[in-house]
Amino acid sequence: MAKQQHSTEERKLVEGCVNNDRRSQEKLYRKFFPTMYRMCYRYAGQEEEALEILNAGFLRVFTKLHTFSFNGSLEGWIRRLVFHSLSDYYRKNDRKLRFLPVEDWDAPTEASPLQNLYFEDMVSLIDKLPKATREVFWLYAVDGYTHVEIGKRLGISPGTSKWHLSNARQKLKKLVNRESHNRGQYAG
């Protein structure tokens, strides 16, 4: 992965937030709100629910911002924390995972073993993927980046990004089927 460069402005913004400067916190919130809101809305489908999840995510961001070590992208770090808020929200409300299909995530899907997995189970399966494959999968399926954008971020070609995504899908299908089988769903 290409080393992430952080601007002086971004470092000052993070430092201001860590020092509880309200202007810095507002600036950070406004900067990342549109992207994070779209992600939450895509999964929640309702404005009120999306905002509830998003605000919980930003509360998590501000609480943990002192741990950000500038080793990766700030946006990616924030996205991951907001994504964990999605997980918490759906676990708390006991909803099944319906918003992260392994293939064709914008297309309707038939009932499958995947729909029987909880959100945290799916995240756990994704975490089992090899590092580069997992990163490409997160950037494409969760964050909505194109293969060209992923290539630039990770220092790989778009073709390599496509290969990693295909590899992730194949491995996740096997893991999903194995997990479903282990839970006795195919027992007669």
Quick one: 84 and 12 in the same domain? yes
Residue 149 confidence (pLDDT): 86
**Rounded distance between C-alpha atoms, residue 1 and residue 154, angstroms:** 5
Q: How confident is the model at residue 59 (pLDDT cuts 50, 70, 90)?
A: very high
Query: Of 63, 95, 127, which residue sits at a domain end?
Result: 95
Q: What is the mean pLDDT of the chain?
A: 78
Quick one: 157 and 112 in the same domain? yes
Q: Which residue has the higher pLDDT, 23 or 146?
A: 23
Residue 44 confidence (pLDDT): 79
**Rounded distance between C-alpha atoms, residue 72 and residue 17, angstroms:** 18
Residue 125 confidence (pLDDT): 80
Q: Which residue has the higher pLDDT, 143 or 42?
A: 42
Residue 149 corresponds to which tokens in the numbers above? 């954008």
CATH number of the domain to which 120 belongs: 1.10.10.10
**Rounded distance between C-alpha atoms, residue 81 and residue 67, angstroms:** 12
Amino acid at 46: Q
Residue 118 confidence (pLDDT): 55
Residue 40 confidence (pLDDT): 87
Q: Please check the confidence at residue 187 and state whether its pLDDT lies above 80.
A: no
Residue 156 confidence (pLDDT): 94
Residue 157 corresponds to which tokens in the numbers above? 């070609």
Residue 63 confidence (pLDDT): 92
* Helix (H) and strand (E) counts in the chain: 8, 0
pLDDT in tens, 114-167: 444 555 677 778 888 899 998 888 888 776 778 888 899 889 999 999 999 999
Amino acid at 67: T
What percentage of the chain reaches a pLDDT higher than 90?
28
Quick one: 115 and 157 in the same domain? yes
Quick one: 143 and 156 in the same domain? yes
**Rounded distance between C-alpha atoms, residue 41 and residue 82, angstroms:** 12
Neighbouring CB atoms inside 10 A of 164's CB total: 24
Query: Of 43, 72, 95, which residue sits at a domain end?
Result: 95
Q: How confident is the model at residue 43 (pLDDT cuts 50, 70, 90)?
A: confident
Q: Which residue has the higher pLDDT, 185 or 179?
A: 179
